[in-house]
Copies of this chain bind each other. A is one copy, B any other.
Amino acid sequence: MGIAERKNRQKQALRERILDAARRIVVREGFAALSMRKIADAIEYSPATLYLHFASRDDIARALCAEGYAQLLATFVPLMQIADPAERLKALGRAYVAFGVEHPETYRLIFMEDPSYTGAALGGAVGVGKDEGNAGEPSANTRRGHSTTAPGNAAGEASEDLGDAALQIMIDALDELRTAGRLPAPVASVEPAVRAEALWASLHGIVALYLTCPVFPSAPLDTLVGVTLDAWLGAPQTARAGGSANAAVRGEKRPKRLPASSTDPPPRPPARRKAAGP
């Protein structure tokens, strides 16, 4: 059956090209500027062809999200080697913020755009659980018909686990710190999941404000991250008290914005779009 396999490979290849083009558009012009026509233009196919690989624009967006989750988690994994939980957690925090700064449109897409996109990363396996279904109806047709015919495509399926995994990494580090008695009292006295969620929210706040508010960090970003991590983890209590664990508390030496700009150009704001037909 070599012929069928070749056809499958070709189909996969086109699928990847579509996703590549879509990613480039999102990165350059923002998610709002992503349209089927633009993707089709970019890969020099007709718009109709896209629908043989993805059920809808939303479907493509979800695939991009899955990639984003994987990318974020991939930046976390090597940091798990850090033995000291406090250092590990700080590295994770800095990596998280750096990811958001370096990939603004990707970060926007997966964490700031649409509840159904953001929710796809968290299976809800962590913590207590929720009431009030807030997800809503935005396209309940996650995968219908085509686009899932081929089994082993990259980052298509279990994107739910990725977000949970990232959160779990933080929970673990926090737990180690707690059992070692190295957390400030108010932080130590809550449930692990709550701790992790709250810390996550703090980091997300920094990134989100940075990406949305032009005049936000009047302070250098890593200063902000440093003081936030210190507030949560407490200053190191092994001797030499008072000082912060972060080197750049007043760090005027470092560049104001972490890596100046790495992958994505600065967020290109509006460019709105309309809703679809039937």
Contact = CB atoms under 8 A, between A and B. Distances in A.
Interface of A: 32, 111-116, 118-119, 122-124, 126-136, 138, 184-187, 189-191, 193-195, 197-198, 200-206, 208-209, 212-219, 223-224, 227-228, 230-232, 234-235, 241-245, 249-250, 256-257, 266-275
Contact of A194 (B130, B213, B219): B219
A219 B122 CA distance: 14
Q: How many protomers of this protein does the assembly include? A: 2
B235 A129 contact: no
Main secondary structure of the interface of A (DSSP, over half): loop
Kindly name the residue among A116, A213, A267 whose own CB sees the greatest number of chain B CB atoms within 10 A.
Answer: A213
Contact of A242 (B189, B190, B208): B189
13 contacts: A118-B214, A130-B214, A138-B270, A184-B184, A185-B242, A185-B244, A189-B242, A190-B249, A193-B218, A198-B224, A201-B208, A270-B275, A273-B275
Kindly name the residue among A122, A198, A249 whose own CB sees the greatest number of chain B CB atoms within 10 A.
Answer: A198
Given A185-B241, A189-B249, A266 B134 contact: yes
A232 B231 contact: yes
Nearest to A189: B244
Given A112-B212, A198-B231, A205-B205, 12 more contacts: A114-B212, A126-B218, A134-B266, A135-B214, A136-B266, A186-B245, A190-B244, A193-B219, A194-B223, A201-B209, A202-B202, A273-B274
Contacts of A124: 215, 218
A218 B167 CA distance: 12
A120 B109 CA distance: 24
A136 B209 contact: no
Given A244-B189, A256-B132, A272-B272, A216 B197 contact: yes
A119 B194 contact: no
